Structure 1
Amino acid sequence: MVFKRRINRTLQLLLSDLSDRALANASQWRAGLGEFVETGLPPVPSDLVIATMNGVMGDALEERKSRLAQRMAFSSGMQPLSLDPIRLAGQLSLPQTRIVICVHGWCMNDSQWQRKPHDHGRNLAKFGYTPVYLRYNTGRHISSNGEDFALLLEQLIATWPCPVQEIVIIAHSMGGLVSRSACFYAARHQVSWLNQLTTLVTLGTPHNGAPLAKLASWAETRIAAVPYLQSVVNLTRLRSAGSKDLSLGTICHSDWQREPPPPYPLRPPLPDGVACYAVASCLSQHTQDERSRRIGDGLVPVASALGEGDEQQLAVGFPAVNQCVVGSVNHMGLLTHPFVARKIEQWVLANSG
């Protein structure tokens, strides 16, 4: 028995030493990965590669002041938009008083709204809307992107060539969380564009969190409770801040700044006076089947995409008539499906002044 205790003690000391080494090496590994990304990629890597790297480790890239960190900016879909009034006027051939802003999802960028060859933003141009696309670093905290979005949009509206009468936001996946966060911080900062916002549409947004991100978060929590496995949890913590926020649908600074973090994120109400809509989808055509709704679009369950409440958290608050569930559509299919496009048209035009 004494011999066994000695063996256990020796094993604990060994594992503790390995854990300490892993903790020290984790930051070195993260820095090394950043160095590899900087020097190992082509001088001009593709936008899609950069978007993916930002989702995976965008917070680290930003910390390094990397050339690969996506800076938040607006684009026309063809070129970045300047916030200088004279230059912006020259970039827009026919600016409208109505703007539709498209906000992309995790590991994506502003160029990926154009698919097969549909584009929800450009589709509204025929109704007198100028499409504008937000690009942001999806590895940063969602709330950080949300607050920056709120302030950057205020600058864009101030420099727009004509008075803006109406703003519409269409957001896919993580973009819906960033947009809700932007509305929350727009109210905090008392910016003016919130008064022009008429419609907010979220497509496949994990308002209650995304299962894959939740699984990673759950594993990290469970492993952290086992001293022998600290060396493993140190590696799981290398996930980007944005991917961690996806696990619960976190949109406020306080949800990640507090120690320990709350078990469930704050649920700020949807913006007052704005018609808010949520679109979910199922891989199956049977949208009322419980199993189909749990699987959802393959990444986001229906309950999460609609922001439904349960005994542990409040519902986001989308009115039942403003919710839509589409069958036989996957997560990316929400960007192109004709029925979704018609729904967006219907909702936007119903709220247009």
Structure 2
Amino acid sequence: MTDEARTGVRLAFDALGGIVDVVRDVHRAIAGPGLAAVAAPVFGAVRVGLAAGGAVAEAVARGSLPVGLTGVVNGAVGDRLRTDYPALATPLRATVDGPLDGHVVVFLHGLVHTEQRWGHRDVAEEVGATAVHVRYNSGLSTTDNGRDLAVHLETLVTGNPITRLSLVGHSMGGLVARAAVHEALANGQRWLSPLREVICLGSPHLGSPVERAAATAVRLLNAFPESAPFGELVDRRSTGIKSLAHGTAYSAAPHVRQHFLAATVATNPTSTTGRLLGDLLVSTTSATAPAAEADRHVLGGLGHSALLHHPEVRAKLVEFLA
């Protein structure tokens, strides 16, 4: 059995134990100390049973987590994985599709995804470039991942004859790309020299209303003792998710062209509905960041995930990279 399999089993049973704790705490808040004391042995027995079940399941588990599940688990609790379950935490790493010379395009996935979600995998080949697909722990903050990416790109450029570098990020991936540029500017890293464009697809440059709503929900749940355990459970979401609540103040390199591409589910992108709804996860205002130095593009009739595979988006990528 691999370390990843053993750790995955342990994480699953620990998560079940956490749910039992929430139920226990809600019961305690509603029932009062008397009944809570009576029920305590029952919850204790369930906890013991889960511990025993986890030990048995760990003993028979085989294989490793599927790639898709790896992305989801890292995005949801990746910061805790790095500390408590390191075998499941994804270190930043890259897959290279060809020779690292000439034009290289680096693709960065979004929250709870891996590089396998990209539908535009052959865009680099079409424009005569080599694709590099980066996988990272999306449960960490965009700043931390940007710092790791900057280190990786410095190694990439230092050891290979790369003459043009392009970064393409979907959702959180766009913020990670911008964070890497910010880090490189602060430290005078050499990989900025061949960098020509940063392309962000549906990236929440001004924050995500979904995450802001989650933070508000936590505050409301924590206001009452009966619901506070649920607030605590929701508040366990990763640092990476929480970092999407507000905008980023990452610096841009003067010689690098930024393309911010937004989507909206509305057919008319310029309508009030189109601006407000955005792609249902990111508003068009957040995805285009009007105050930033960037070329802005908005496509109508698309949701957030469609940015990964829609032919209109592909055509835009070819246009930006050609």
For the aligned pair, the TM-score class normalised by the smaller chain equals 0.7 to 0.9
Match of 1:339 in 2: 312
Q: How does 1:167-206 map to 2 (within 5 A)?
A: 167-206=165-204
Structure 1 residue 232: Cα displacement? 3.9
- Of 101, 112, 116, the residue aligned with 1:111 is 116
Match of 2:260 in 1: 278
Q: Distance in 2 between matches of 1:231 and 1:334?
A: 36
Q: How does 1:49-68 map to 2 (within 5 A)?
A: 49-68=69-88
Match of 1:81 in 2: none
Q: Which amino acid aligns with 2:298?
A: V
| Aligned-partner SS, 1:278 | strand
Q: Distance in 2 between matches of 1:197 and 1:203?
A: 18
Structure 1 residue 54: Cα displacement? 0.6
- Of 64, 67, 71, the residue aligned with 1:44 is 64
Q: How does 1:134-283 map to 2 (within 5 A)?
A: 134-160=134-160, 163-224=161-222, 230-250=228-248, 267-283=249-265
Structure 1 residue 247: Cα displacement? 1.5
Q: Distance in 2 between matches of 1:285 and 1:278?
A: 19
Q: Distance in 1 between matches of 2:110 and 2:268?
A: 26
Q: Distance in 2 between matches of 1:41 and 1:292?
A: 48
Q: Distance in 2 between matches of 1:230 and 1:336?
A: 40
| Aligned-partner SS, 1:165 | strand
8 Å CA contact 1:177–1:249 kept in 2: the answer is: no
1:69 aligns with 2:89: yes
Q: Distance in 1 between matches of 2:227 and 2:274?
A: 36
Q: Which amino acid aligns with 2:73?
A: M
Runs of 5+ consecutive residues of structure 1 not aligned to the other structure:
1-10, 22-27, 78-91, 251-266, 309-314
Aligned length: 277
Q: Distance in 1 between matches of 2:304 and 2:130?
A: 26
- Of 272, 289, 299, the residue aligned with 2:281 is 299
Structure 1 residue 230: Cα displacement? 4.3
Match of 1:82 in 2: none
Q: 1:215 to 1:42 in 2, by over 3 A?
A: farther
8 Å CA contact 2:127–2:321 kept in 1: the answer is: no
Structure 1 residue 333: Cα displacement? 1.1
8 Å CA contact 2:268–2:300 kept in 1: the answer is: yes
| Aligned-partner SS, 1:239 | coil
Q: 1:285 to 1:42 in 2, by over 3 A?
A: farther
Q: Distance in 2 between matches of 1:325 and 1:295?
A: 13
Q: How does 1:83-122 map to 2 (within 5 A)?
A: 92=98, 94-113=99-118, 115=119, 118-119=120-121, 122=122
Structure 1 residues 196-205 or 279-288, which shifts more? 279-288
Aligned residues with identical type, % of pairs:
28
Q: Distance in 1 between matches of 2:61 and 2:286?
A: 36
Q: Distance in 1 between matches of 2:300 and 2:181?
A: 30
Q: 1:42 to 1:158 in 2, by over 3 A?
A: same
Structure 1 residue 245: Cα displacement? 0.6
CA RMSD of aligned residues (A): 2.8
Match of 1:88 in 2: none
- What per-residue deviation string (whole Å, max 9, x for no partner) do you get for residues 211-252 of structure 1? 2211111222344556775444322321111011112145xx
8 Å CA contact 2:117–2:308 kept in 1: the answer is: no
Q: Distance in 2 between matches of 1:41 and 1:142?
A: 33
| Aligned-partner SS, 2:162 | coil
8 Å CA contact 1:284–1:292 kept in 2: the answer is: yes
Structure 1 residue 102: Cα displacement? 0.3
- What per-residue deviation string (whole Å, max 9, x for no partner) do you get for residues 83-120 of structure 1? xxxxxxxxx4x44311100010000111221x3xx42x
Structure 1 residues 38-47 or 136-145, which shifts more? 38-47
- What per-residue deviation string (whole Å, max 9, x for no partner) do you get for residues 113-156 of structure 1? 1x3xx42xx31223321110111001111111111111111112
Match of 1:262 in 2: none
8 Å CA contact 1:204–1:281 kept in 2: the answer is: yes
Q: Which amino acid aligns with 2:273?
A: R
8 Å CA contact 1:300–1:331 kept in 2: the answer is: yes
Q: Distance in 2 between matches of 1:242 and 1:196?
A: 29
8 Å CA contact 1:202–1:277 kept in 2: the answer is: yes
Q: Which amino acid aligns with 2:135?
A: R
Structure 1 residue 305: Cα displacement? 0.7
8 Å CA contact 1:170–1:200 kept in 2: the answer is: yes
Q: Distance in 1 between matches of 2:127 and 2:229?
A: 56
Structure 1 residue 307: Cα displacement? 1.6
Q: Distance in 1 between matches of 2:144 and 2:61?
A: 27
Q: 1:183 to 1:338 in 2, by over 3 A?
A: same
The TM-score, its normalising length taken from structure 2, stands at 0.78
8 Å CA contact 1:106–1:174 kept in 2: the answer is: yes
8 Å CA contact 1:306–1:318 kept in 2: the answer is: no
Q: Which amino acid aligns with 2:272?
A: E
